[in-house]
Structure 1
């Protein structure tokens, strides 16, 4: 277990500071900049958009595996000012509003994670990370659009023709950015899943009368429907409610687009008591849920370029681990590079990052896709079994109506507990102890052996024999 996981204190500082160029100024880029500055490396973040647009809007759920990292980084007071701690999930039917039950997070499990389950907004989280990164000395340039990456020369070219060089290039510019295309060798847009997410916000006064459960332990309200679902949870000190609708996909849309969808148009199947108030919600941003094939390599074969966040592992929009995995990436990258002492270690550390993160993010992403499809099941035997099982447990007085259900549901919740308890910084420290130190010792021994061999190497010596004439008279 890392020292920072058990007590507060300064992190290990690198003895060999590098210049990191980070392409992308979203959550992944700012988290990486914050983490790298904490251990003594230099970080320049290049973001093509302006700060107002990059900050985003809408709600974001912060699971314990994310908040524990921010706590380690000294950001707990800032989080407590901006975010709400949540303990409960309430489940209903989308079309009728019928109550299905609730899930109350076990306090023992949450305590073991050393984090909290919190509710925040994307712009508030962005501000927290931006403020911390810049306080630590990271530089953030907005309006700096990277159009080309020369990995061999560790150089990026901006749209205005300016060229910048760094020791390590970090691609945090999303699934459609230049970094992912550079590593893969081509642009890849993923595959449609037939599901879309709509992201918006509404005043809490407009819903409080009909969804009182939202204010019990800052609960997350989840509604299951026929090919539809709704997540709703309080933000901004419960003054507003973040809304995330899922439904059939028939167009395109991405994060960064302007809000353009009238919520009543997408809530036609919603319980009438809630639907009447949806006209007061802000216009929603439309984001298609696309499935991306895993890319084999996150590190370029041509030099020190690594992709992180959505550039490495695009998640379904609105899911809880999408943001968490991006922050974990930055934390692990910095932990590994805190041990850097020579340039020769750079590529090894980048491949160690890939090794540590790929299995973790793939498992989490598969779970999140499973959750999206589970919430939006078509009416049929599977959805009826789900709902009847939850109702039966609620009737028994159970506080965790998803626990113990048959099949995939039980498996999903077991995975969630495992994901919440994971400490990515500890895992990075364990890699260094188990593999990094041993490798360094092996290199040192090899160097010492080569030096000793050089001292004993007589192959370059020559011997000259001089014959002395013999005096025959003797």
Structure 2
């Protein structure tokens, strides 16, 4: 017997799709909805650490995903000098276990498509172009009103709908998201043969200039700068900005920069953060992933922590007989301190960069890796 029979998952991103897979496989009826008209067809690269890969393997998607990415076990720290001198090489801990790479680069649309296919195969009903507008709880179920005026009732609603979660707002949960004063440009480009891992160039005119291999012939590169208020730019203008920003960095960056004329779309976002104090539920509505905690990408743990949320939540729902205070207390105990510590480390790295302080980055990576190596 499970704690729930019928669940609405709002948001068909990483944590939402993972939740739908686990619950549907456990015999729960799952509706997975997303306000977007269709799954994303374009997007930036994504770096997944071993603890994320562990969850993806448990979800049954690792075999397919590993054909669409690039795994590696080291991190390089380079100088912003004419040679791109390697200052340090860190051998990363395989946080997902010895048979998974420490780090894996792929593309967000690829990962999204694989997870959504798996959710549908598991039995979840997936609907895009469907938006939640209101919730009404009676203690034993949740009545949901959708944007088209239709209504439905569920045992539980899971809000996995991102930083500006509509589910969180509809449940009356207040949360302030703050900008960190850093902006990131990401671009897809051909992979030079010399790029076989992530290298971070620290210093120079930018906070970070880095890249991550995503396949035998591809990578995504990223450049982190202070806010510039550049306004709306065409793709050509965006590529010109990226080339200009990358001009100060060398080594493999020289080949990456030369190939940007063939690059695809440019992704531009700001670093933002928030952390919802526990509990993450209000009655039978719970938020997970970015709806509960927003990570800057400095330690590449945002997706991993969202996947761990889904793992712990679904485990509890499938092994308990009812939705009780004890269930939510266990969820908080297993998730909050772990998320807070990893988020704190990600923010510490941001602060070092903002302050121009040369902190112990390898030590910070090792601390987080040791924390997330045991399953959540």
Q: Using structure 2 for the length normalisation, give the TM-score.
A: 0.86
Partner of 1:198: 185
Q: Does residue 1:34 correspond to 2:21, yes or no?
A: yes
| SS of residue matched to 1:98 | coil
Say yes or no: does 1:105 pair with 2:84. Answer: no
Match in the other structure for 1:159: 147
Aligned to 1:182: 170
Higher relative helix content: 1
Map 1:413-424; keep pairs closer than 5 Å. 413-424=365-376
1:286 aligns with 268
1:180–1:70 distance in 2 versus 1, CA, 3 Å: same
Q: Does 1:360 align with 2:338?
A: yes
Number of residue-to-residue matches in the alignment: 365
Indicate whether 1:230 and 2:209 are aligned: yes
Q: Aligned pair 1:309/2:261, yes or no?
A: no
- SS of the residue 2:9 aligns to: strand
Q: Quick one: distance in 1 between partners of 2:294 and 2:365?
A: 22
- Secondary structure in 1 aligned to 2:293? coil
Q: How many angstroms does 1:113 deviate by? A: 5.8
Structure 2 CA distance for partners of 1:231 and 1:183, relative to 1, 3 Å: farther
User: What are structure 2's unaligned runs of at least 5 residues?
Assistant: none
What are structure 1's unaligned runs of at least 5 residues?
A: 1-13, 387-407, 425-474
Q: Which residue of 2 aligns with 1:133?
A: 119
Return closer, same or farther for 1:318/1:145 CA change in 2, 3 Å cut-off: farther
2 CA distance for matches of 1:367 and 1:197? 19
Q: CA RMSD in A?
A: 2.8
> 1:229: how far off?
1.0
CA distance in 2, matches of 1:272, 1:15: 55
Residues in 1 aligned to 2:17 and 2:236: alpha-carbon distance in whole angstroms: 28
> What SS does the corresponding residue of 2:53 show, helix, strand or coil?
helix
- What is the aligned partner in structure 2 of residue 213 from structure 1? 194
Q: Which has the higher strand share?
A: 2
Structure-2 change in CA distance of 1:258 and 1:70 (3 Å): farther
Give deviations 1:226-279, integer Å, cap 9, x for gaps: 4421221221x32221112211123499xxx99796133144343365345444
Q: 2:301 maps to what in 1?
A: 321
Instruction: Note the 1:406-417 alignment, pairs <5 A.
Output: 408-409=360-361, 411-417=363-369
SS at match of 2:310: helix
For residues 239 and 196 of structure 1, the distance between their equivalents in structure 2, rounded to whole angstroms, comes to 27
Q: Is the 8 A contact 1:230 1:244 kept in 2?
A: yes
Residues 375 and 233 of structure 1: is their aligned pair in 2 closer, same or farther, counting only changes over 3 Å? farther
Larger Rg over CA atoms: 1
Mark the CA change 1:223 to 1:145 in structure 2 (over 3 Å): closer, same or farther.
same
Per-residue Cα deviation, 1:386-415 (whole angstroms, up to 9, x for no partner):
6xxxxxxxxxxxxxxxxxxxxx43641332
What is the CA distance between 1:31 and its match in structure 2? 0.8
Distance 1:258 1:288 in 2: 18
Q: TM-score, normalised by structure 1?
A: 0.70
Contact between 2:51 and 2:96, CA under 8 Å: does it hold in 1?
Answer: no
- State the partner residue of 1:391: none
